[in-house]
Protein backbone atom coordinates (compact mmCIF):
# COMPACT_ATOMS: atom_id res chain seq x y z
CA UNK A 1 0.00 0.00 0.00
CA UNK A 2 1.48 3.39 -0.96
CA UNK A 3 0.74 6.99 -0.01
CA UNK A 4 1.68 10.05 -2.02
CA UNK A 5 0.48 13.65 -2.06
CA UNK A 6 1.41 17.19 -3.01
CA UNK A 7 1.92 20.18 -0.73
CA UNK A 8 2.06 23.68 -2.26
CA UNK A 9 2.62 22.08 -5.64
CA UNK A 10 5.59 20.03 -4.41
CA UNK A 11 5.23 16.30 -4.81
CA UNK A 12 6.03 14.46 -1.61
CA UNK A 13 7.85 11.11 -1.57
CA UNK A 14 5.79 8.00 -2.19
CA UNK A 15 5.80 5.83 0.90
CA UNK A 16 5.05 2.14 1.10
CA UNK A 17 3.29 0.60 4.10
CA UNK A 18 4.39 -2.91 5.05
CA UNK A 19 2.37 -5.60 6.80
CA UNK A 20 4.07 -7.23 9.79
CA UNK A 21 3.34 -10.09 12.18
CA UNK A 22 1.10 -9.46 15.17
CA UNK A 23 3.87 -9.78 17.76
CA UNK A 24 6.37 -7.46 16.06
CA UNK A 25 5.62 -4.68 18.59
CA UNK A 26 7.62 -6.69 21.12
CA UNK A 27 10.70 -6.23 18.95
CA UNK A 28 10.02 -2.49 18.74
CA UNK A 29 10.11 -2.32 22.52
CA UNK A 30 13.34 -4.33 22.57
CA UNK A 31 14.97 -1.97 20.07
CA UNK A 32 13.57 1.02 21.94
CA UNK A 33 15.16 -0.28 25.13
CA UNK A 34 18.49 -0.57 23.33
CA UNK A 35 18.23 3.09 22.28
CA UNK A 36 17.35 4.14 25.82
CA UNK A 37 20.31 2.21 27.22
CA UNK A 38 22.63 3.72 24.61
CA UNK A 39 21.83 7.36 25.45
CA UNK A 40 20.37 7.24 28.94
CA UNK A 41 20.83 10.87 29.95
CA UNK A 42 19.09 12.39 26.93
CA UNK A 43 16.28 9.84 26.98
CA UNK A 44 15.61 10.09 30.71
CA UNK A 45 15.63 13.88 30.44
CA UNK A 46 12.58 13.57 28.18
CA UNK A 47 11.03 11.15 30.66
CA UNK A 48 11.57 13.61 33.50
CA UNK A 49 9.94 16.39 31.49
CA UNK A 50 6.76 14.43 30.74
CA UNK A 51 6.62 13.09 34.31
CA UNK A 52 7.00 16.54 35.81
CA UNK A 53 4.31 17.92 33.54
CA UNK A 54 2.03 15.02 34.37
CA UNK A 55 2.49 15.46 38.10
CA UNK A 56 1.62 19.14 37.89
CA UNK A 57 -1.50 18.42 35.85
CA UNK A 58 -2.66 15.59 38.11
CA UNK A 59 -2.06 17.71 41.20
CA UNK A 60 -4.74 20.13 40.05
CA UNK A 61 -7.00 17.89 37.98
CA UNK A 62 -7.73 14.65 39.82
CA UNK A 63 -10.51 16.12 41.94
CA UNK A 64 -11.89 18.57 39.39
CA UNK A 65 -14.40 17.25 36.89
CA UNK A 66 -13.86 19.92 34.27
CA UNK A 67 -10.13 20.18 34.85
CA UNK A 68 -9.83 16.41 34.44
CA UNK A 69 -11.19 16.72 30.91
CA UNK A 70 -8.78 19.56 30.24
CA UNK A 71 -5.90 17.48 31.64
CA UNK A 72 -6.71 14.53 29.41
CA UNK A 73 -6.96 16.93 26.48
CA UNK A 74 -3.52 18.23 27.33
CA UNK A 75 -2.02 14.76 27.48
CA UNK A 76 -3.56 13.88 24.11
CA UNK A 77 -1.86 16.93 22.66
CA UNK A 78 1.47 16.96 24.48
CA UNK A 79 2.25 13.23 24.58
CA UNK A 80 2.80 12.56 20.87
CA UNK A 81 4.48 15.93 20.27
CA UNK A 82 6.99 15.48 23.09
CA UNK A 83 7.95 12.13 21.58
CA UNK A 84 9.53 14.11 18.72
CA UNK A 85 12.80 14.46 20.59
CA UNK A 86 12.94 10.76 21.39
CA UNK A 87 12.31 9.80 17.77
CA UNK A 88 15.05 12.23 16.76
CA UNK A 89 17.48 10.56 19.16
CA UNK A 90 16.74 7.17 17.59
CA UNK A 91 16.98 8.62 14.08
CA UNK A 92 20.38 10.15 14.81
CA UNK A 93 21.66 6.99 16.45
CA UNK A 94 20.57 4.90 13.46
CA UNK A 95 22.44 7.26 11.12
CA UNK A 96 25.57 7.21 13.25
CA UNK A 97 25.24 10.90 14.15
CA UNK A 98 26.08 12.47 17.49
CA UNK A 99 23.36 12.21 20.12
CA UNK A 100 22.53 14.61 22.95
CA UNK A 101 19.47 16.19 24.55
CA UNK A 102 20.11 19.49 22.76
CA UNK A 103 20.45 17.72 19.41
CA UNK A 104 17.21 15.85 20.04
CA UNK A 105 15.45 19.21 19.80
CA UNK A 106 16.74 19.86 16.26
CA UNK A 107 13.69 18.15 14.78
CA UNK A 108 11.44 20.80 16.29
CA UNK A 109 13.07 23.49 14.17
CA UNK A 110 13.74 21.32 11.13
CA UNK A 111 10.13 20.10 10.83
CA UNK A 112 8.44 22.82 12.84
CA UNK A 113 5.67 23.73 10.39
CA UNK A 114 4.42 20.17 9.91
CA UNK A 115 4.70 19.46 13.63
CA UNK A 116 2.64 22.55 14.46
CA UNK A 117 -0.01 21.51 11.95
CA UNK A 118 -0.06 18.05 13.50
CA UNK A 119 -0.33 19.59 16.96
CA UNK A 120 -3.28 21.67 15.74
CA UNK A 121 -5.03 18.49 14.59
CA UNK A 122 -4.50 16.88 17.99
CA UNK A 123 -5.73 20.06 19.62
CA UNK A 124 -8.96 19.73 17.65
CA UNK A 125 -9.41 16.19 18.98
CA UNK A 126 -8.59 17.39 22.49
CA UNK A 127 -11.18 20.16 22.32
CA UNK A 128 -13.72 17.64 21.06
CA UNK A 129 -13.02 15.47 24.11
CA UNK A 130 -13.45 18.46 26.42
CA UNK A 131 -16.77 19.43 24.81
CA UNK A 132 -18.10 15.87 24.75
CA UNK A 133 -17.12 15.31 28.37
CA UNK A 134 -19.10 18.41 29.36
CA UNK A 135 -22.06 17.15 27.32
CA UNK A 136 -21.87 13.74 29.00
CA UNK A 137 -21.86 15.31 32.43
CA UNK A 138 -24.95 17.33 31.53
CA UNK A 139 -27.08 14.69 29.86
CA UNK A 140 -26.23 11.10 30.82
CA UNK A 141 -28.72 9.40 33.14
CA UNK A 142 -30.75 12.58 33.37
CA UNK A 143 -28.34 14.15 35.84
CA UNK A 144 -26.89 17.59 35.27
CA UNK A 145 -23.22 18.30 35.47
CA UNK A 146 -21.92 19.64 38.78
CA UNK A 147 -21.74 23.39 39.06
CA UNK A 148 -18.25 24.64 38.28
CA UNK A 149 -17.79 25.91 41.84
CA UNK A 150 -18.66 22.47 43.20
CA UNK A 151 -16.54 20.69 40.61
CA UNK A 152 -13.59 22.89 41.43
CA UNK A 153 -13.44 21.62 45.01
CA UNK A 154 -15.40 18.38 44.86
CA UNK A 155 -14.39 14.78 44.34
CA UNK A 156 -14.65 13.55 40.74
CA UNK A 157 -15.86 10.04 41.51
CA UNK A 158 -18.38 11.24 44.08
CA UNK A 159 -19.91 13.64 41.56
CA UNK A 160 -20.49 11.15 38.77
CA UNK A 161 -23.13 8.46 38.72
CA UNK A 162 -21.94 5.00 37.59
CA UNK A 163 -23.64 5.57 34.22
CA UNK A 164 -21.95 8.93 33.78
CA UNK A 165 -18.57 7.52 34.70
CA UNK A 166 -18.86 4.66 32.20
CA UNK A 167 -19.82 6.97 29.35
CA UNK A 168 -17.23 9.55 30.42
CA UNK A 169 -14.47 6.94 30.21
CA UNK A 170 -15.87 5.47 26.97
CA UNK A 171 -15.84 8.85 25.24
CA UNK A 172 -12.27 9.42 26.37
CA UNK A 173 -11.28 5.96 25.14
CA UNK A 174 -12.79 6.53 21.71
CA UNK A 175 -10.99 9.83 21.25
CA UNK A 176 -7.73 8.35 22.57
CA UNK A 177 -8.11 5.62 19.95
CA UNK A 178 -8.57 8.32 17.31
CA UNK A 179 -5.33 9.96 18.44
CA UNK A 180 -3.61 6.58 18.15
CA UNK A 181 -4.96 6.07 14.62
CA UNK A 182 -3.62 9.36 13.29
CA UNK A 183 -0.35 9.43 15.25
CA UNK A 184 0.99 5.88 15.27
CA UNK A 185 3.83 6.75 12.84
CA UNK A 186 3.13 10.44 12.17
CA UNK A 187 5.90 12.05 14.23
CA UNK A 188 8.77 9.87 12.94
CA UNK A 189 7.45 10.16 9.37
CA UNK A 190 7.39 13.96 9.62
CA UNK A 191 10.92 14.31 10.98
CA UNK A 192 12.41 11.62 8.73
CA UNK A 193 10.74 12.38 5.39
CA UNK A 194 9.90 16.10 5.73
CA UNK A 195 6.29 15.43 4.77
CA UNK A 196 3.17 17.37 5.70
CA UNK A 197 1.07 16.61 8.75
CA UNK A 198 -1.83 15.60 6.52
CA UNK A 199 0.27 13.06 4.65
CA UNK A 200 1.74 11.75 7.90
CA UNK A 201 -1.71 11.18 9.37
CA UNK A 202 -2.86 9.44 6.18
CA UNK A 203 0.17 7.16 6.40
CA UNK A 204 -0.71 6.36 10.01
CA UNK A 205 -4.27 5.47 9.04
CA UNK A 206 -3.04 3.24 6.20
CA UNK A 207 -0.50 1.65 8.54
CA UNK A 208 -3.17 0.74 11.08
CA UNK A 209 -5.51 -0.57 8.37
CA UNK A 210 -2.77 -2.81 6.96
CA UNK A 211 -1.64 -4.09 10.36
CA UNK A 212 -4.70 -4.47 12.56
CA UNK A 213 -3.40 -7.46 14.62
CA UNK A 214 -0.03 -5.80 15.23
CA UNK A 215 -1.69 -2.45 16.00
CA UNK A 216 -3.99 -4.08 18.54
CA UNK A 217 -0.97 -5.59 20.26
CA UNK A 218 0.90 -2.29 20.07
CA UNK A 219 -2.04 -0.34 21.50
CA UNK A 220 -2.43 -2.90 24.30
CA UNK A 221 1.26 -2.59 25.17
CA UNK A 222 1.02 1.20 25.24
CA UNK A 223 -2.05 1.08 27.48
CA UNK A 224 -0.47 -1.51 29.80
CA UNK A 225 2.81 0.35 30.14
CA UNK A 226 1.03 3.66 30.63
CA UNK A 227 -1.14 2.07 33.32
CA UNK A 228 2.02 0.92 35.09
CA UNK A 229 3.34 4.46 34.84
CA UNK A 230 0.20 5.88 36.46
CA UNK A 231 0.16 3.11 39.08
CA UNK A 232 3.60 4.30 40.21
CA UNK A 233 2.32 7.88 40.57
CA UNK A 234 3.89 8.66 37.19
CA UNK A 235 7.41 7.89 38.40
CA UNK A 236 7.51 4.88 36.11
CA UNK A 237 6.95 7.21 33.16
CA UNK A 238 10.52 8.46 33.58
CA UNK A 239 11.55 5.20 31.88
CA UNK A 240 8.33 4.12 30.16
CA UNK A 241 7.79 7.31 28.17
CA UNK A 242 11.23 7.34 26.50
CA UNK A 243 10.95 3.59 25.93
CA UNK A 244 7.69 4.10 24.03
CA UNK A 245 9.09 7.10 22.17
CA UNK A 246 12.10 5.17 20.92
CA UNK A 247 9.94 2.14 20.11
CA UNK A 248 7.70 4.38 18.00
CA UNK A 249 10.67 5.18 15.79
CA UNK A 250 11.43 1.50 15.27
CA UNK A 251 7.77 0.80 14.53
CA UNK A 252 7.88 3.45 11.83
CA UNK A 253 11.13 2.14 10.33
CA UNK A 254 9.69 -1.35 9.99
CA UNK A 255 6.21 -0.35 8.84
CA UNK A 256 6.93 2.49 6.40
CA UNK A 257 9.36 2.43 3.49
Is 87 strand, coil or helix?
helix
The domain ranges of the chain are 65-89+108-257
Q: What is the pLDDT of residue 2?
A: 52
- Contacts (Cβ under 8 Å, ≥6 apart) of 145: 65, 134, 137, 138, 151
- Contacts (Cβ under 8 Å, ≥6 apart) of 65: 137, 145, 146, 151, 154, 156, 159, 160
* Confidence check: pLDDT of 227 > 60: yes
Q: What is the pLDDT of residue 33?
A: 98
Q: What is the pLDDT of residues 51-69, one digit of tens each?
A: 988 887 777 665 555 566 5
Q: What is the pLDDT of residues 111-165, one digit of tens each?
A: 878 998 998 888 888 778 777 777 766 665 455 445 444 444 345 556 667 777 7
Q: What is the pLDDT of residue 109?
A: 81
Q: What is the pLDDT of residues 6-20, one digit of tens each?
A: 444 445 567 899 999
d(CA 164, CA 215): 29
Which of 238, 244, 206, 218 is closest to 18 using CA atoms? 206
Q: What is the pLDDT of residues 71-109, one digit of tens each?
A: 666 666 677 788 899 999 999 999 999 888 888 888 888
**What is the average pLDDT value for the chain, to the nearest integer?**
82
Beta bridge partners of 256: 17
pTM of the entire structure? 0.84
d(CA 70, CA 22): 34
Amino acid sequence: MSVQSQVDGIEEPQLQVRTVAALRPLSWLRDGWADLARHKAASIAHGLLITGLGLVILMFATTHVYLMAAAISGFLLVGPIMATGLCELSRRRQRGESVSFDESLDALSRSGTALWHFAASLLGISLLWFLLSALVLQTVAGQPAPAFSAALWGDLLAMLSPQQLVVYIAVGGILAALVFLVSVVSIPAIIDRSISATTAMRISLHTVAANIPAMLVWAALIVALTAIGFATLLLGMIIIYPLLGHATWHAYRELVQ
